[in-house]
Amino acid sequence: MFSSTLFVASLALWGKAANAAFGLTTNTGSYVVDAGSSNSLKFTVDRDNCDITSINYYGSELQYQSTGSHIGSGLGTATVSATETGDYIKITCKTDTLIHYYIAHSGDPIIYMATYTTAEPSIGELRYIARLNADLLPNEEPFGDVSNIDGGTAIEASDVFLVDGETRSKFYSSQRFIDDLRHCVSGSAHRVCMILNQYETSAGGPFHRDINTNNVGTYTGLYWYMNSGHVQTESYRQGLHGPYLMYFSRSGTPSTDIDTSFFADLDIEGYVATSGRGYVKGTASGADSSFDWVIHWYNDDAQYWTYTSSSGSFTSPAMKPGTYSMVYYQGEYVVATSSVTVTAGSTASKSISGSVTTGTTIFKIGDWDGQPTGFRNAASQLRMHPSDSRMSSWSPGTYKVGTSSESDFPMAIFKSVNSPLTISFTATSSQTGAATLRIGTTLSFAGGRPQATVNSYTGSIPSAPTNLNSRGVTPRCITISVVSGSSGDTYLSPNFVSLTYFSSSQLSPEPGPNIEFA
């Protein structure tokens, strides 16, 4: 009995693990691709609309069956063709403004992709969404349940939910582009990871972030957002987005170092091989060494970035030829700008220097790093809603310089929640002359911006900030109030956030001492 049972179990395991022959099957309404991987991966593409309708990995169906995986919200209709050449299968989907590619390489448990655009999709945003089986892939990595809305009740718009007393949203799965090389969904026997080689044709810069994963109960979404209206800070770029890929494994987390150089041999529209690119190499200096330093290059067609070494040295990724703006960040705060020209096959030498200069400081709350790190609720604001019961009070009372801690200063001020914010401090006789009050903010909602009152003096109202169409998140005496021509309830009232993104201009010294809110 034992031998028979063991033999049957072995056959079942062999059936799952054995790799079928690499190849392409053409059906009336679909293409079926067998990747020929050791743990069998087969996927099916609809010949009418380019949707993936089936992903069978290691004997299990991982594709959500009610809706396919696709670009945007689906192409609707497309001209879909397929070719098999040697060790590669390429499926090409064309519309008037877009070409999407699915590629398989013999033996790889991977669906390689790239998307060429000349305009934004007419339906939905420029993203790839894989709608996967939530029963087999319920978990989201690396941030866990913060974006799992299964069983939740909507509490703001249609994208913030309350689940078991916790606020959750697909937006809470986001990671800064510079750090987002891989995000995954998983279960007890399967893991699927979206791996991103680069964001060169996306928009937003190194500190932009967007939706990565979202378990909605009926399916688990695995995304790559190329362009979106989520805190849009620059014009969209068009051209080739990718290569990017979905990597299938049983349990292990794959490396992000995936070779996609073979795209150069597959007639991919807009693909620029390494041989047609150049580099920038140099040294950054002058910024506060207690923060990470980032170098960012961008123009209308492409964007790139890299961290510097601890000594400030840097080498760019392989860049398409052109003239680029070059930005040096202390954390996420701009300290210097320049420009550089990149030519194919060569390395340009370009160093950059800059620092934050504010003069003599009376007191400072926070740091000029472009982020609200250390302020009240800053550690939580990326993973939960401001109304979440796990948040500390947004109205901690008067901030007393020399007594209060940095965590007593809220990272956002909301017109209907905690405005005005009062700060008290004692000045010496030598500090009672002319002074400059600096308040650093970089993200606002509904035109919210700070207006300061110092004793009986009230400063002028700053001009309205650029509308990014985003909800954001938000003795002597100083009060800081939110001013705006708009209104709203509680956390949807006009607000501003203390340095949660980055400023576009460098500070310059002004006469007299400075009071800083960084």
What are the pLDDT digits (tens) for 50-89? 999 999 999 999 999 999 999 999 999 999 999 999 999 9
Does the pLDDT at position 389 exceed 80?
yes
Domain 20-265 has CATH 2.70.98.10: yes
pLDDT band at 485 (very low <50, low <70, confident <90, very high): low
Does the pLDDT at position 25 exceed 60?
yes
Assess whether the previous peptide bond of 206 is cis (omega < 30° from 0): no
Q: How far apart are CA 476 and CA 36, in angstroms?
A: 74
Greater pLDDT, 442 or 229: 229
Residue 353 pairs in a beta bridge with 285
Are 206 and 293 in contact, with CB atoms under 8 Å apart? no
Give the SS3 label for residue 31: strand
The token pair that represents 290 in the structure block: 């207690």
Are 17 and 58 in contact, with CB atoms under 8 Å apart? yes
Average pLDDT over residues 17-43: 91
Give the SS3 label for residue 197: coil
Residue 296 pairs in a beta bridge with 305, 327
Q: What are the residue boundaries of the structural domains of the chain, listed by start?
A: 20-265, 276-353, 357-518
Closest CA to 82 of 130, 45, 129, 111: 45
Average pLDDT over residues 171-177: 96
Does the pLDDT at position 45 exceed 70?
yes
What pLDDT was estimated at residue 117? 97
Average pLDDT over residues 161-183: 97
Residue 454 pairs in a beta bridge with 457, 478
Domain 357-518 has CATH 2.40.110.10: no
Q: What whole-number percentage of the chain has pLDDT above 90?
A: 69
Strands 60-61 and 98-105 come out as unpaired
What pLDDT was estimated at residue 122? 76
pLDDT band at 471 (very low <50, low <70, confident <90, very high): low
Q: How far apart are CA 202 and CA 240, in angstroms?
A: 9
**CATH (residue range 276-353):** 2.60.40.1120
What pLDDT was estimated at residue 232? 86
pTM score, two decimals? 0.89
Check the CA dihedral 426-428-433-434 and report its sign: negative
Q: Mean pLDDT check: name the lowest of 99-103, 306-310, 373-377.
A: 373-377
20-265 and 276-353 have identical folds: no
Average pLDDT over residues 205-211: 95
122-136 pLDDT, tens digit each: 777 899 999 999 999
Greater pLDDT, 497 or 457: 457
Question: Which residues lie below 8 Å from residue 163, measured CB to CB, with a gap of 6+?
Answer: 145, 148, 149, 150, 151, 152, 153
Q: Quote the mean pLDDT of the chain.
A: 88
Are 47 and 75 in contact, with CB atoms under 8 Å apart? no
Q: How far apart are CA 459 and CA 477, in angstroms?
A: 14
Question: Which residues lie below 8 Å from residue 490, measured CB to CB, with a gap of 6+?
Answer: 387, 414, 416, 417
